[in-house]
């Protein structure tokens, strides 16, 4: 029999209505089942975690007991073998007690159960229930006993027999306070979440620890703590409540997930924009850095911790005449190392690998691809990443060829200036030199004429003739000494340093000084310390300094009364600064404060015919030797020019010739 169209339509509508209802029911069932299932899983998980943690505590207690037993057994072997005295045993007992707070005391009994040593403060307080002396090698534990003078504080005593060849030699008894076992061996995080107890076989409470409060009897577990000859129960009771059943967990989860998804999309969009902005800024910074590095004349070089070249800028490539692809990635030796300085490069490379990079720059030489050598100045610094860890070294290399040429040219010009100054000085004393030479020449002519007259007269007096010829010889030597001094002073030469004794140097130029002084009727006095140490100096430059200073001193006293025209040259050794101090002292017109401000300036002179370079050259020469040139007023009138020179380290012994 076929169904009518009405019944068929109803059947179709019925399924259309049932499907949403079934879906809603399924959703409700799921909504109820999921929290219940989550609660059940959490309950099981907490119970399993409690069991695992209890097992861990039990194993920790067993491990500590076994460890203490092993230590005491080892000490027992030493006691039996008489390798451990009573005092040393007591000391080691105290150390073990100090490092293991769960131990209450340790007692050592001999074969007659007489107390030999104990960690207890008073031997009278020690109470010990003797163990059977026929016990085997195994450790035996007595049932817990209440500690004397305390309430509900139980002690667990375990005997470790001392036996050798089946002979009983005594025993070591270690006593544990059960409460300390729980406090020391149960971790704090376990005691915070659980109440842990020790029970005897009659379920009597022996010790209890509950840092986080009493247990709620929801999650509990009993673990049998097997000890030698004794069994205790380790009872744990969690203080956690049952997980609450959230009826709107699914709805809340959907809402939270939806909100989280929207927030994640917003955060992702913001992060993408920030990343794009950061990448754009980074590209600009990289372009700016590349443009800056490409425009630099200073070469840049980066190396990793193994010394491998990781980066060079165009200036460095142009400097050495090599392409970046030819040298980046290479390790020493480098193609731009000069063969004659190879050992220096290797030494510096070893220092770099050891981390001792010089903080100041150093000079060396490199060679270009065509073999040309050129000097460079190198500065090294550490490369550090964003985590503060060193990843290599960065070097800046400066080609100082032009600087070296400029320094050489400056040195040449300075030497020419010194020579010119010496010639100018000699030009001023040329006229006085001619007048001074006339005297010895006239004397020589007079003595030789008298000798000729004696010979022609035939009345030869050998003594008079010898005296005349000796005086003529002395005057000739005097004239020759003056000429040689002037010649040595004005001849052009390269500046060189050598040990110089100031007394000999002052004595060599004294004829020239006296020559200048005599023209102005100035008396010259020298005051030199005995055994002055040598100075490392250029002899001619020091002679020029002394001649300039003495000439200025003589000229400053030209208008003074005759009794004040005294020039003093003083040299002494300064022990504090380890230097030789030379003073040129006059009693002339002195130096005003206005003139003193420009005294050492180039081309400044108070004399109408002066070049204004004398004192400037003197100061340059003294500073070239590492000294200083200063001036002060003379208390009795005039000026004191003072310069100091460092003592030669190789010949600073005053007795050294």
Do 475 and 463 belong to one domain? yes
Do 463 and 557 belong to one domain? no
Could you read off the pLDDT of 273-285 as tens digits, one per residue?
888 888 888 888 8
Q: What is the mean pLDDT of residues 129-147?
A: 65
Choose between 488 and 185: higher pLDDT: 185
Domain of residue 598, CATH code: 3.30.565.10
The Cα–Cα gap between 550 and 25 comes to 122
The Cα–Cα gap between 522 and 528 comes to 19
Residue 107 lies in a domain: yes
Q: DSSP assignment, residue 336?
A: T
Residue 272 lies in a domain: no
Of 350, 376, 399, which residue sits at a domain end? 399
pLDDT tops 70 at residue 438? no
pLDDT tops 60 at residue 618? yes
Q: Which residues pair with 311 in a beta bridge?
A: 302
pLDDT of residue 17: 54
pLDDT of residue 407: 77
- Which three-class secondary structure state does DSSP give residue 627? coil
Residue 41 lies in a domain: yes
- CB within 8 Å of 559: residues ≥ 6 apart: 589
pLDDT tops 50 at residue 514? yes
pLDDT tops 80 at residue 463? no
Do 415 and 547 belong to one domain? no
654: domain range?
496-657
pLDDT of residue 487: 59
Do 301 and 228 belong to one domain? no
Do 192 and 324 belong to one domain? no
pLDDT of residue 182: 84
Do 426 and 359 belong to one domain? no
Rounded to the nearest angstrom, the gap between the alpha carbon of residue 57 and the centroid of all alpha carbons in its chain is 48
Residue 408 lies in a domain: yes
Q: Is 380 left (phi over 0), alpha (psi -120 to 50) or beta?
A: beta
Of 347, 377, 399, which residue sits at a domain end? 399
Do 390 and 417 belong to one domain? no
Domain count, the chain: 4
Residue 136 lies in a domain: yes
The Cα–Cα gap between 346 and 363 comes to 15
Residue 250 lies in a domain: no
pLDDT of residue 584: 92
Residue 8 lies in a domain: no
The DSSP annotation for 6-25 comes to HHHHHHHHHHHHHHHHHHHH
- CB within 8 Å of 177: residues ≥ 6 apart: 102, 104, 147, 153, 154, 155, 156
Choose between 577 and 193: higher pLDDT: 193
Could you read off the pLDDT of 185-239 as tens digits, one per residue?
888 888 888 888 888 888 888 888 888 788 888 888 888 888 888 888 888 988 8
The DSSP annotation for 550-578 comes to HHHHHHHTTTS-GGG-EEEEEEEEETTTT
Do 549 and 458 belong to one domain? no
The DSSP annotation for 589-618 comes to S---HHHHHTTTSTT--SSTT--S-HHHHH
Could you read off the pLDDT of 293-352 as tens digits, one per residue?
676 678 888 888 888 888 888 888 888 888 888 888 888 888 888 888 878 888 887 877
Domain of residue 372, CATH code: 3.30.450.20
Residue 141 lies in a domain: yes
Do 96 and 212 belong to one domain? yes
The Cα–Cα gap between 633 and 434 comes to 35
Of 350, 372, 399, which residue sits at a domain end? 399
pLDDT of residue 548: 83
The Cα–Cα gap between 160 and 131 comes to 10
Domain of residue 444, CATH code: 1.10.287
Do 150 and 219 belong to one domain? yes
pLDDT of residue 418: 64
- CB within 8 Å of 124: residues ≥ 6 apart: none
- CB within 8 Å of 235: residues ≥ 6 apart: 196, 197, 198, 199, 220, 221, 222, 223
The CA-CA-CA angle for residues 114, 115, 117, to 5°, reads 150
pLDDT of residue 608: 46
Do 446 and 551 belong to one domain? no
* The model's pTM: 0.36
- How far is the CA of 326 from the CAs of 317, 321, 331, 375, in angstroms? 10, 10, 12, 22
Residues in the chain: 657
Instruction: Judge contact between 364 and 378, C-beta under 8 A.
Output: yes
Do 406 and 375 belong to one domain? no
Residue 488 binned pLDDT confidence (cut-offs 50, 70, 90): low
């Amino acid at each position: 029999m076929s169904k009518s169209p009405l019944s068929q339509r109803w059947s179709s509508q019925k399924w259309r209505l049932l499907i949403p209802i079934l879906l809603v029911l399924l959703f409700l069932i799921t909504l109820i089942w999921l929290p219940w299932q989550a609660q059940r899983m959490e309950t099981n998980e907490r119970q399993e975690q409690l069991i695992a943690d209890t097992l861990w505590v039990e194993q920790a207690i067993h491990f500590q007991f076994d460890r203490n037993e092993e230590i005491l057994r080892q000490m027992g072997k030493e006691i039996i073998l008489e390798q451990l005295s009573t005092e040393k045993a007591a000391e080691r007992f105290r150390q073990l007690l100090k490092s293991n707070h769960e131990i209450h005391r340790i007692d050592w009994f001999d074969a007659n159960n007489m107390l030999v040593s104990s960690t207890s403060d008073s031997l009278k307080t020690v109470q010990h229930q003797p163990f059977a002396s026929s016990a085997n090698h195994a450790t035996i534990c007595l049932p817990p006993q209440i500690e004397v003078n305390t309430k509900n504080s139980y002690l667990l005593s375990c005997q470790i027999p001392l036996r050798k060849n089946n002979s009983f030699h005594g025993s070591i008894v270690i006593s544990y306070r059960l409460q300390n076992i729980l406090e020391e061996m149960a971790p704090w995080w376990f005691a915070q979440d659980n109440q842990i107890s020790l029970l005897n076989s009659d379920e009597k409470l022996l010790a209890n620890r509950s840092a986080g409060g009493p247990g709620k009897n929801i999650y509990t577990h009993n673990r049998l703590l097997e000890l030698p000859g004794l069994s205790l129960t380790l009872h744990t009771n969690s203080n956690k409540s049952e997980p609450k059943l959230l009826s709107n967990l699914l709805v809340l989860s959907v809402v939270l997930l939806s909100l989280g998804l929207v927030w994640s999309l917003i955060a992702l969009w913001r992060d993408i924009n920030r990343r794009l902005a950061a990448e754009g800024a980074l590209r600009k910074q990289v372009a700016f850095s590349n443009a800056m590095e490409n425009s630099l004349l200073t070469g840049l070089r980066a190396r990793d911790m193994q010394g491998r070249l990781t980066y060079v800028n165009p200036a460095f490539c142009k400097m050495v005449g090599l392409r970046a692809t030819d040298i980046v990635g290479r390790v020493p030796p480098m193609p731009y190392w000069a063969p004659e300085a190879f050992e220096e490069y290797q030494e510096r490379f070893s220092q770099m690998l050891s981390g001792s990079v010089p903080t100041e720059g150093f000079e060396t030489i490199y060679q270009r691809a065509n073999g040309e050598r050129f000097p460079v100045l190198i500065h090294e610094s550490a490369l550090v990443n964003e985590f503060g860890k060193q990843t290599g070294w960065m070097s800046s290399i400066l080609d100082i060829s032009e600087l070296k040429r400029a320094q050489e040219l400056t040195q040449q010009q300075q030497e020419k200036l010194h020579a010119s100054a010496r010639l100018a000085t000699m030009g001023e004393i040329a006229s006085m030199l001619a007048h001074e030479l006339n005297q010895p020449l006239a004397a020589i002519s007079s003595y030789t004429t008298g000798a000729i007259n004696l010979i022609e007269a035939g009345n030869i007096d050998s003594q008079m003739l010898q005296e005349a010829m000796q005086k003529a010889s002395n005057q000739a030597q005097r004239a020759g000494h003056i000429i040689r001094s002037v010649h040595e002073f004005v001849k052009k030469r390269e500046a060189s340093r050598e040990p110089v004794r100031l007394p000999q140097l002052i004595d060599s130029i004294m004829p020239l000084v006296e020559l200048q002084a005599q023209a102005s009727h100035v008396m010259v006095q020298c005051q030199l310390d005995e055994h002055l140490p040598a100075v490392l100096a250029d002899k001619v430059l020091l002679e020029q300094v002394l001649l300039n200073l003495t000439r200025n001193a003589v000229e400053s006293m030209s208008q003074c009364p005759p009794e004040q025209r005294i020039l003093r040259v003083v040299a002494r050794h300064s022990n504090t600064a380890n230097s030789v101090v030379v003073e040129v002292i006059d009693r002339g017109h002195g130096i005003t404060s206005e003139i003193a401000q420009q005294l050492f300036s180039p081309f400044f002179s108070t004399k109408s015919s002066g070049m204004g370079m004398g004192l400037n050259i003197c100061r340059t020469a003294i500073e070239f030797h590492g000294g200083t040139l200063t001036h002060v007023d003379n208390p009795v009138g005039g000026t004191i020019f003072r310069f100091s020179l460092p003592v030669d380290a190789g010949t600073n012994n005053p007795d050294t010739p």
